Each structure stands twice: as C-alpha cells, then as structure tokens.
C-alpha cells in the first residue's frame, strides 16, 4: 500500500514538474514578443504654455482682502493672478457647486424627490434650511434653486442622498468627480459645506469645478435669476419665495453686470468665501476668494479683480491660417536639406493650442511665429521618419511660448514597398515563438501521456498479481 502511494506521489510530482517546466518558456516567449513590439512615439501633448501663474507679481493689483485668491482664464486654461491658490482651505457653502454639478449631470430637473428624515435631521440648527419635511415631494429643479439662491443645506442634502442613497456614498462620488476634473488638493467630507477639519479644497481646484459647472446653461440661468417661487407641495400649503441672496444680483452697490454664476459661503472656520464666473467681450474668467474678511467687500474685491484681469491680460485665439507662411518656409528648408537624396516629405500635420493669454502690454507690441529646427537630425538611411517641430510665438519683449507642433513625415522613395524593419523583426520573432511554443506543448503532452501509460500498466500488473494471490487456482 505504501509503495502504491509512493508511486502516485512520484508521478504527480513528475506531472506537476512537466507542466511547470513548459509554462516557464511559454511565459518568457510571450514576454519577449511584447518587449519587441515597437510603438511610434506619441506626439507632445498640447497645453497652456504658462506654468503656474501668468503674472506672479502683478502691479497695481486691487487688495483682495482674503487668505487666498485666484483669477483663472477659462478659454486659455491659464491662472492669471493668485496667492496661495494651491493651499487647501475650508470652502463652506461653495461646496454646493459640486453637488449641483453632479445633479445636473445625473438627474433631470423634473425628477421628483420624496423628502426623508435623513435629508435634514443631521444638519446643525444654525445652518440655513428651506424647511422641507418628511414625506414632502419636490423636484430636482426646486432643490437646485434653493441651493443656489438661498444656500439651503437640506435641499443640497436631498440631492446628494437621491443620487447615491446616503451622504457618505455621495461624498465618494464628489471626490472621484473632483479627481476627474483635475483637482489635486481637494477632499470633501460632506455635500453642503459643513465645517470639518478634513473638508478642504483650493482656489485652483474649485475653479476647475466651476468651469465644468458653467458648461450647463441651467446653472447660469438659475444662479443669476432674481427670485424663484416654489409652489405649495403635498405637505406645505404656502408658496416659498426664494430671493437671490447673492449680492452680485440682489444689491445695486455690489452688482456686477458680467456675473454668469457662482456661489458664496460662510462659517467661523472658513471665513467668507465666494466663487464666480464673469463673461466679457467673449472671454470667461473665474474668480475665487477663500478666507475673505468681510461679507460685502468680497463682492467688491472680486469684481475689481475681474476688471483688472479683463484690462491687463489678453486672451487670443490662434488661427491655423496664421501658420501657413512659417510652415511653408520650414518645409522648404527641409526639402532643400534632403535635395539629391532618395528622401522626400510625404506629409505634414499641424497642432496648435486654441487660445493663449498674455499681458495686454506685451500683446500690443506684436509677435512673430517661428518653427524651431535647431534640434533636427535627418537619418538618410531610414525608410520613414517623423520630425516633431515646436512652434514658437515670440513677443516684442522676447518672451516666447511654444504654441504648437508641426509634424513632418519623411520617407525613402526607393524603399516604399519594403516591409517595415520593426514589423518584419516582430513578425519573425513571433513565428519563432509560435514554433517553439508548439514544440514545447507537444513534447510536454507526449511526456505526460507516457508517464500516464506507464503508471496505468504498472497498476494493472500489480492488480493481477494481488488477484492471483487472493484467489489461488485449485488443481
């Protein structure tokens, strides 16, 4: 019996070893194949040519009166001026911008919400409410109006729980969406701006959130209206008239004609906060103050910052036809350099940023465009090659931005019918790998089959032996 178990163990070991032995070369063959697959170099990513602030030391800037601030140009994706704009701070009720954004993305304005106790009972008594009651049926639109006009925390919480079932689940969704929008220093812990040491965001991150929210026309329509009326509901018999509490709309002394939507907030931890979008002469700016020291002055300070940026910075659209001359000149230079060889230009492609921002004083001095050929090396032996050439815009003060790339493809006319070297090499290696893989599998199967047959014959012989000894024939 012991011998029988021993034989089985030996055979099992041999079988496992055989399978493992032939899995190792299989994995290595596949790795080698993947490692030798070549891929073309990806073209450079086009982005705002300015890193950080466009103007780190602005002159004649109005005093913001806040712990941190930022003015951001939406078209050019440029931060114009700012201070501690990447420092996480408490946002208070401007948090509701994110909740409203998710509601606009995931709900219809006409969707109905039945109010439950968990949509208001956790809100502190000194926080603003619209006064919804359990069992009351309202619409998503009514809740958004209540958020943006009155900063109603129960309306905000109702939207959050409607979307995700609980506020904690919704908070995860908020943080995920913030990351998708490019926010790097934001951590939300609640849906409406409850004071919490871990509930933080930055001027830059909130600007990105408002930028996305401004894509929704309903947001601008709602946040800039003077008043809105919630008609009687199934549990509330009176009309609720919501007057816009935002002083850009409601107060003549602080009104700003270019305001297109935003939100304010306040708590003892955050101080006064405000974020707003402004549109003028085809440009859209987003301004934000965190930790402002006065409720009314935050409006005046932000409108002054807007006007400062509209006046002192220019955002310009780049047209492709502007580049025709410099592209033609560059291709001519390349053609002259390969004259007398088998090489020729087979195609060109142009990628440029759509908008850029500069100081108005610099823009007024004019600019020139050029394509940088300083690092170009042309391989006379290559069948095909691509040159990725940066396009520079240089202003009268010698400031220069990379505003795009010209890609020039060069081919060898005499080798157009050849299979590309990298493809042939990869194909040959794949063929060799397939042959070795097939041999390995067949050999492994034969070895396993042989071991199985030997085991079977040995067991059969042993059974016959035991049978003959248990049942001796009587002569």
Partners of 284 in the β-ladder:
279
Task: Match 């729980």 to its residue by tokens.
Answer: 161
The whole-number average pLDDT for the span 245-262 is: 97
Selection from 198, 228, 10 nearest residue 95 by Cα: 198
18 pLDDT tier (thresholds 50, 70, 90): very low
Q: End of a domain among 391, 415, 439?
A: 415
Quick one: 137 and 86 in the same domain?
yes
331 and 474 assigned to the same domain: no
Note the pLDDT of residue 467: 53
Give CA torsion, residues 293, 294, 295, 296, to 10 deg.
Answer: -140
| DSSP string for residues in 378-424 | --TT-SEEEEEEEEEEEETTS-EEEEEEEEEEEEEGGGTTSPPHHHH
Q: What is the DSSP string of 182-196?
A: T-SS-B-SSSS----
- Tell me the C-alpha distance between 400 and 391, whole Å: 10
Please check whether residues 199 and 236 belong to one and the same domain.
yes
> Residue ranges of the alpha helices (H) in 233-296?
247-250
State the pLDDT confidence band at 86, using cuts at 50, 70 and 90: very high
469 and 404 inside one domain: no
**What's the domain count of the chain?**
3
- Asked if the structure places residue 175 within a domain, the reply is yes
Examine the domain organization and report whether 138 and 86 are in the same domain.
yes
| 176 assigned to some structural domain | yes
The C-alpha atoms of residue 343 and residue 377 are separated, in whole angstroms, by 13
Are both 238 and 123 inside the same structural domain?
yes
pLDDT tens digit sequence for 278-332: 999 999 999 999 999 999 999 999 999 999 999 999 999 999 999 999 999 999 9
User: What is the DSSP annotation of 154-190?
Assistant: HHHHHHHHHHHSSHHHHHHHHHHHHHHTT-SS-B-SS
Domain boundary among 290, 316, 342: 316
Residues 401, 158: Cα–Cα separation, whole Å: 47
456 pLDDT band, cuts 50/70/90, is low
Residue 28: the pLDDT is 38
Q: Are residues 457 and 368 located together in one domain of the fold? A: no
Residue 58 lies in a domain: no
Helix (H, G, I), strand (E, B) or coil at 473: coil
Q: Mean per-residue pLDDT for 20-38? A: 38
> In this predicted model, what pLDDT tens digit does every residue of 376-398 receive, in sequence order?
999 998 999 999 999 999 999 99
DSSP SS3 for 219 = helix
Least confident of 23-37, 155-169, 170-184, 427-441: 23-37
Report the C-alpha gap between 32 and 185 in whole angstroms. Answer: 41
Structure tokens at 375: 């690092």
**Residue 9 counted as domain residue:** no
Average pLDDT, stretch 249-269?
Answer: 97
Q: Which residue has the higher pLDDT, 232 or 440?
A: 232
Q: What is the reported pLDDT for 48?
A: 65
The pLDDT, as a whole number, for residue 51 is 81
* CA–CA distances in Å: residue 54 to residues 43, 63, 67, 356, 445: 25, 18, 20, 10, 68
- Residue after which a domain boundary falls, among 274, 298, 316: 316
Residues 345 and 216 in one domain: no
Please tell me whether residue 291 adopts helix, strand or coil conformation. strand
Tokens of 279: 């549109």
331 shares a domain with 214: no
Output the six-digit token pair for 361: 């004083």
Q: Does any domain span residue 301? A: yes
Tell me whether residue 122 is in a domain: yes
Residues 128 and 147 in one domain: yes
> Where does the pLDDT of residue 37 fall: very low under 50, low under 70, confident under 90, or very high at 90 and above?
very low
d(CA 121, CA 114): 15
Instruction: Give the least confident one: 36-50, 141-155, 352-366.
Output: 36-50
164 with 94, same domain: the answer is yes
Residues 408 and 433 in one domain: no
**Token couple for 130:** 């619209």
CATH code for position 371? 3.10.129
In a domain? residue 62: no
Domain, as residue range, for 410? 320-415
Give how far the C-alpha of residue 262 lies from the chain's centroid of Cα atoms, to the nearest Å. Answer: 22
Does residue 132 fall inside a structural domain?
A: yes
What pairs with residue 343 in β-bridges?
A: 412
């Amino acid at each position: 019996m012991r011998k029988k178990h021993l034989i089985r163990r030996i055979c099992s070991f041999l079988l496992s070893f055989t399978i493992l032995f032939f899995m190792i070369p299989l994995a290595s063959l596949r790795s080698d194949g993947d490692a030798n697959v070549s891929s073309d170099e990806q073209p450079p990513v086009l982005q705002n040519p300015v890193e950080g602030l466009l103007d780190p030391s602005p002159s004649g800037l109005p005093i913001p009166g806040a712990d941190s601030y930022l003015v951001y140009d939406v078209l050019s994706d440029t931060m114009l001026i700012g201070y501690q704009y990447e420092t996480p701070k408490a946002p208070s009720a401007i948090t509701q911008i994110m909740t409203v954004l998710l509601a606009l993305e995931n709900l219809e304005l006409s969707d109905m919400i039945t109010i439950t106790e968990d949509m208001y009972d956790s809100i502190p008594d000194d926080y603003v409410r619209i006064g919804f009651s359990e069992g009351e049926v309202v619409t998503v639109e009514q809740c958004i109006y209540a958020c943006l006009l009155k900063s109603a925390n129960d309306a905000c919480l109702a939207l959050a729980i409607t979307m995700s079932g609980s506020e904690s689940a919704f908070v995860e969704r908020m943080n995920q969406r913030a990351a998708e929008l490019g926010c790097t220093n934001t951590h939300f812990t609640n849906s409406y701006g409850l004071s919490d040491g871990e509930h933080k965001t930055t001027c830059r991150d909130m600007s990105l959130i408002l930028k996305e929210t401004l894509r929704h026309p309903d947001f601008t329509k709602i946040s800039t209206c003077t008043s809105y009326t919630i008609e009687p509901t199934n549990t509330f018999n009176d009309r609720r008239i919501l007057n816009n509490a935002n002083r850009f709309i409601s107060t003549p002394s602080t009104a700003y004609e270019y305001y297109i939507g935003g939100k304010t907030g306040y708590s003892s931890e955050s101080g006064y906060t405000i974020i707003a979008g402004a549109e003028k002469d085809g440009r859209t700016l987003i301004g934000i103050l965190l930790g402002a020291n006065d409720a009314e002055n935050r409006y005046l300070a932000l409108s002054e910052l807007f006007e400062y940026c509209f006046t002192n910075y220019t955002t310009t659209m780049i047209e492709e036809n502007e580049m025709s001359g410099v592209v033609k000149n560059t291709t001519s230079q390349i053609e002259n350099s390969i004259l007398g060889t088998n090489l020729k230009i087979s195609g060109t492609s142009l990628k440029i940023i759509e908008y850029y921002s500069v100081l108005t004083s610099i823009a007024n001095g004019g600019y020139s465009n050029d394509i940088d050929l300083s690092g170009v090396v042309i391989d006379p032996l290559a069948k095909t090659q691509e040159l990725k050439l940066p396009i520079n815009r240089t202003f009268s003060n010698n400031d220069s931005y990379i505003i795009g790339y010209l890609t020039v493809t060069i081919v060898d006319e005499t080798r157009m019918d050849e299979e590309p070297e990298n493809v042939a090499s990869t194909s040959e290696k794949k063929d060799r790998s397939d042959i070795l893989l097939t041999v390995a599998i067949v050999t492994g199967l034969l070895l396993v089959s042989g071991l199985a047959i030997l085991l079977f014959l040995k067991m059969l012989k042993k059974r016959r032996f035991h049978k003959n000894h248990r049942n001796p024939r009587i002569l």
